Amino acid sequence: MMSRVYVLDAGVLFTTWTTKMDNAVLLTTSNIMAEVRNKPSQLRAETLLTLDRLRVVNPESVYLERVSKTAKQSGDSSVLSAVDIELISLALMLREEGEDVTLVSSDFSVLNTSSHLGIKYIDPSGKFRKEITWLLRCPACHYKSETPTRDSECPVCGTTMQRTPLRGRKRS
């Protein structure tokens, strides 16, 4: 039988969300664990680890490449950290291994990239509404680029370009 697996972002480990998930398998990466530094959250995470309710797993590099590629296409790569990409990659790897995996995060770019990859997710904050594809737009000359990169300068006039939604798709 497939077990239901939840991949947790650091933001979730700062909350008591995990206490509501009695029978679930909870997973995160070692770099996410390293971000959990405040005492109450650390204690909660350590207790879950001791009880084997929470396990630390890191994704294989092939998944990092796939997530990075999708993040470039969705326009999220300029705001995703390496730790974010690892987290999404872990969810992708588990799904490919046949797990019934759900990513839990309130980070908009993490959720957006996951949505583009067709990964199931829960946003405990409830703020993420729809999938977006970003493009870069020059505020000066209105040049548009559909391949956003970090700190892009407008190739026409040199102004720093801004992210803007190309299109949005309602959550299905």
Where do contacts with Zn ion occur on this chain (CB under 5 A)? 138, 140-141, 143, 154, 156-157, 159
Start-to-end Cα distance in the chain: 26
Scan for tokens 């370009």, then name that residue.
Answer: 161
Q: Return the C-alpha torsion angle 83, 109, 90, 23, nearest 10.
A: 110
Nearer to Zn ion, 117 or 138 (CB): 138
Question: How far apart, in Å, are the Cα atoms of 71 and each of 80, 109, 148?
Answer: 8, 9, 10
Closest CB to Zn ion among 59 and 75?
75
Min dist CB 55 to Zn ion, Å, is 48
Q: 12 or 138: whose CB is closer to Zn ion?
A: 138
Name the minimum Å distance from CB 153 to Zn ion: 8
Query: Which of 161, 68, 57, 162 lies closest to 109, judged by CA?
Result: 68
Instruction: Tell the smallest beta-carbon distance from residue 154 to Zn ion (Å).
Output: 3
Smallest distance from Zn ion to CB 132, Å = 22
Closest CB to Zn ion among residues 34, 141: 141
